[in-house]
Amino acid sequence: MEYRQTSLALVVRGFTLWWWLGFFTLGGLIIYDILKFKRTRLVLKDKSITLYDGIITENSRDLPYRNIQTVNVHQSVIGQLFGYGHIVITTANTGDAVMFKYVDKPQVLREMIQSRIRD
């Protein structure tokens, strides 16, 4: 007598494969996001702001206070409820904006940066 696998077994095996593939892909994205969150920081120095980021290698970018044109805060409704938001700093020389996301108490940070710009 000859026995064969059922078509249902092929479907179950396919779903199992896709489930594991999705699980590892999602897990990789979550780990990437956590590492990026942990390695990104903004440092206020005497004459400039330095933004550090990167996962494997660390990149840094200096923004001198004299070149900063605007400091904006973007907060969603949920961000307003929980006290976080995004800081967007626009510089005069390049005209591009630097966004620092998910900052605790962004209005306080904005005021600190603006007070150093005026000095």
For residue range 44-103, what is the model confidence (pLDDT) as tens digits? 999 999 999 988 899 998 889 988 999 999 999 999 999 999 999 998 876 678 899 999
Query: What predicted TM-score, i.e. pTM, was given to this entire model?
Result: 0.71
The pLDDT assigned to 96 comes to 78
* DSSP string for 4-61: ---HHHHHHHHHHHHHHHHHHHHHHHHHHHHHHHHH-EEEE-SSEEEEEE-SSS-EEE
The pLDDT assigned to 15 comes to 84
The pLDDT assigned to 18 comes to 87
Quickly state the pLDDT bin for 107 (edges 50, 70, 90): very high
CA 72/CA 27 separation, integer angstroms: 33
The residue extents of the domains of the chain are 60-119
Quickly state the pLDDT bin for 22 (edges 50, 70, 90): confident
